């Protein structure tokens, strides 16, 4: 069940929202949380009921481990407690590794050693990358005494809460579950519903109208064309750069909006990353909850493993942390290189900053945006041949032409009839260039979703704006598409 589907918007969401607050009002908040828990599990199992066994096993193991560590809290049992923590982390990483990375590892061994170990070709279980990290954070925080959960049903709700289950934000127990206990949050609040529906509408528009439109230009370049000229290659790469941002930030907006309808505030996941003027600032704005996880549970432990601060060791920790980010995103060597690319980019950025060398803001933005654009080719390409095709076109190693093939880029696009009336490809080229330029200006100058939410005052202009944001994508939902991060 997708957020961007009629069944979710007109059936599941109203049923769960009305049911949750009606049960809370008539039978009490505990029964309402049970209802929301079962609704969230239904939402997850709707994709494939067998996945519930995997999610359920993960929940049971991590909840049990957290309870063991709480009982092993005495000073003389810290060694046993630490062993339990390590076992829990290995369980989560092992489960993720088996389902997500086994074929990648076996395929790499076969390639290097010439062996023929069989591949499983398993479909990646939905949301495993996200709920695994969320539960690793929970058991580590439990070990440190930063959080605790003694009620199993509440823990199930924490992991499975449907707005953030599939693709984040990656949340901490202590920042979400106490909100369910707050008295004001147990009743329907019109203001929260209004704000939540507003930001949900923004996210829906981003996904259906913007991201899916850019997908219509990115996909032919990556997956269909055998070669690309200079302009086609840049159109392809930039289209995916915008598609990924508006797709994932759109999902995050919808998740935040949905949770707010239930009076739950989820953490911000995006803060205009394409406005960043440095690689450091890019990662301070992009996928914030993943960056937070990597910083707290990978980067800082590596840093603390060495007594005294060392800049060289900090840079080593940075590269390792970014490599972990790259591998988390996908089981392919392109993601390995993506991680190293951003790791070394951050190192260079830190060295530059440490030496206090001047750098004009606009030039910094230009370099950062194009660095991100180039790295995302690795993010999207299905193999190294595709990477070579895109990059050779972008750097003028194939045809240096300044037009696009309109049959390639508009064959499955709603603008095809308009473009097809043109006798030449120049009109299609100009149209694509205008769209790309427009969205460069949008991402650099316009307010982001959070800023629009803060400005929202319920005035008629905002209501009309929200109505447009909602109606336009609803008219286009016949072409339902999954979110990109469902693949990770």
* Rounded Cα–Cα distance for residues 425 and 422 (Å): 7
Residues in CB range of 85: below 8 A, 6 or more apart: 65, 69, 139, 140, 143
* Rounded Cα–Cα distance for residues 137 and 61 (Å): 14
* Rounded Cα–Cα distance for residues 442 and 152 (Å): 45
The candidate with the shortest Cα–Cα distance to 261, out of 7, 49, 15, is: 15
Token reading at 173: 């127990």
Q: For the purposes of burial, counting CB atoms within 10 Å of the CB of 433, is it exposed (0-12), middle (13-18) or buried (19 or more)?
A: middle
Active-site pick, 172, 173, 287, 329: 329
**Could you give the residue ranges of the DSSP H alpha helices within 295-405?**
300-304, 311-329, 333-354, 361-380, 384-394
Distances (CA, A) of 26 to 19, 22, 251: 10, 6, 33
* Rounded Cα–Cα distance for residues 486 and 448 (Å): 23
* DSSP-assigned letter for residue 268: P
Contacts 24+ apart (CB under 8 A), 41-48: 41/156, 41/160, 43/1, 43/12, 43/162, 43/165, 44/126, 44/127, 44/160, 44/162, 44/165, 44/166, 46/1, 47/1, 47/126, 48/126
Whether the CB-CB separation of 319 and 340 falls below 8 Å is answered with yes
- By three-state DSSP, how is residue 458 classified? coil
Half-sphere exposure of 267 (CA within 13 A, CB side): 20
* DSSP-assigned letter for residue 119: P
Instruction: Identify whether 329 is a catalytic site residue.
Output: yes
Token reading at 281: 């600032």
Which phi and psi (to 5°) does residue 74 adopt? -65, 155
* Rounded Cα–Cα distance for residues 314 and 353 (Å): 14
Q: What is the largest CA-CA distance in the chain?
A: 82
Helix H or strand E encompassing 245: helix 230-261
Residues in CB range of 48: below 8 A, 6 or more apart: 126
Distances (CA, A) of 116 to 99, 104, 108, 333: 19, 13, 11, 19
Catalytic residue positions, numbered: 329
């Amino acid at each position: 069940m997708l957020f961007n589907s009629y069944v979710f918007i007109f059936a599941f969401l109203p049923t769960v929202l009305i049911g949750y607050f009606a049960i809370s009002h008539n039978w009490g908040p505990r029964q309402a949380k049970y209802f929301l828990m079962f609704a969230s599990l239904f939402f997850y199992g709707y994709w494939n009921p067998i996945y519930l066994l995997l999610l359920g096993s993960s929940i049971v193991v991590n909840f049990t481990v957290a309870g063991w560590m709480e009982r092993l809290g005495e000073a003389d049992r810290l060694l046993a407690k630490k062993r339990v923590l390590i076992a829990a982390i290995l369980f989560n990483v092992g489960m993720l590794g088996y389902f997500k990375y086994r074929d990648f590892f076996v395929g790499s061994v076969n390639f290097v050693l010439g062996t023929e170990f069989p591949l499983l070709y398993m479909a990646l279980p939905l949301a495993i990358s996200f709920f695994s990290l969320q539960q690793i954070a929970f058991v580590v925080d439990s070990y440190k005494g930063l959080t605790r959960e003694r009620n199993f049903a509440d823990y199930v709700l924490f992991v499975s809460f449907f707005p953030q289950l599939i693709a984040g934000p990656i949340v901490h127990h202590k920042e979400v579950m106490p909100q369910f206990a707050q008295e004001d949050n147990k009743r329907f609040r019109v203001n929260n519903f209004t704000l939540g529906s507003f930001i949900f509408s923004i996210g829906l528009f981003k996904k259906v109208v913007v991201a899916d439109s850019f997908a219509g230009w990115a996909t032919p370049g990556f997956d269909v064309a055998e070669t690309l000229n200079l302009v086609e290659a840049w159109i392809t790469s930039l289209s995916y750069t915008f598609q990924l941002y508006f797709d994932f930030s759109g999902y995050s907006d919808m998740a935040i909006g949905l949770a707010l309808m239930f009076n739950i505030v989820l953490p911000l996941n995006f803060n205009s990353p394409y406005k960043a003027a440095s690689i450091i600032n890019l990662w301070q704005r992009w996928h914030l909850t993943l960056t937070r996880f990597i910083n707290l549970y990978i980067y800082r432990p590596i840093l603390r493993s060495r007594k005294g601060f060392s800049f060289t060791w900090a840079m080593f920790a940075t590269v390792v942390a970014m490599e972990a980010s790259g591998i988390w995103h996908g089981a392919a060597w392109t993601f390995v290189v993506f991680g190293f690319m951003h790791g070394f980019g951050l190192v260079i950025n830190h060295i530059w900053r440490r030496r206090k060398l001047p750098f004009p803001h606009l030039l910094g933005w230009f370099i950062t945006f194009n660095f991100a654009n180039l790295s995302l080719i690795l993010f999207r390409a299905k193999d190294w041949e595709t990477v070579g095709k895109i990059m050779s076109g972008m750097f003028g190693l194939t045809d240096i032409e300044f037009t696009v093939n309109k049959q390639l880029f508009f064959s499955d696009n709603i603008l095809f009839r308009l473009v097809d009336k043109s006798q030449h490809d120049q009109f299609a080229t100009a149209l694509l260039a205008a769209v790309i330029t427009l969205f460069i200006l949008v991402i650099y100058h316009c307010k982001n979703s959070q800023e629009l939410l803060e400005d929202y005052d319920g005035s008629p202009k905002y209501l009309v704006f929200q109505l447009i944001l909602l109606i336009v994508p609803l008219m286009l939902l016949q072409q339902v598409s999954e979110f990109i991060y469902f693949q990770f």
